[in-house]
Amino acid sequence: MSGVATDWQHGWWSGARRIDSPNHGPRPHGTGVTLALIHSISLPPGVYGGDEIERLFTNRLDWSAHPYFEQIRGFEVSSHFVIRRDGESLQFVSVRDRAWHAGRSVWRGRENCNDYSVGIELEGLEGESFEAAQYASLVQLLKALATELPLTEVVGHEHVAPGRKCDPGAGFDWKRLQTQTGWVERFFPAAFASPAA
């Protein structure tokens, strides 16, 4: 990785491949984007490398292509970014807009995290580990986001929807992310723990 790509055009980052999703809307007027929200996703669960995530976020998924897809039939969802297993970054929604990634959520007493967060999906299965290339790309993305937005915290979907969601899960190494960004611990979940060796 040669430096951090920080170029932005209307909320689109030059460091990611752009794939426009129709699943977004405006943020509430005057809302600052202070939260980076980490998720994990794989379609079908545990299968990597296909284009199913892109198809889901662009409403082009063939619901009959796999039995699991019947469980999510008709979902209209999106995230701002996806980081593939090989570290490739994709962007589906401008960070100026509200992506549909968090669902019912609350952080520090503030509801509707979609309003004030950027959603970042890591290709992976909750509870399992992620690739070194994904951490490197995530660090690059977070540093770029910090040049564009007033970020103050980075948390997981599990933190804003406890009991309902558990991603990115125990396999995600929060301490590693904190060390690699060089950001102070207050940016991250208060009680993060490294996964078991």
Cα 98–chain centre separation: 13
Apex CA 131: angle with CA 125 and CA 137, to 5°?
110
To the query of whether residue 121 is one of the catalytic residues in this protein, the response is: yes
For 182, other C-beta atoms within 10 Å of its C-beta total 8
90 strand-pairing partners: 17, 82
Q: 3-state DSSP call for residue 111?
A: strand
Q: Give the pairing of strands 35-41 and 153-156.
A: parallel
Instruction: State the pairing for strand pair 117-123/89-91.
Output: unpaired
Catalytic residue among 121, 123, 126, 158: 121
Q: Which residues participate in catalysis according to the annotation?
A: 121
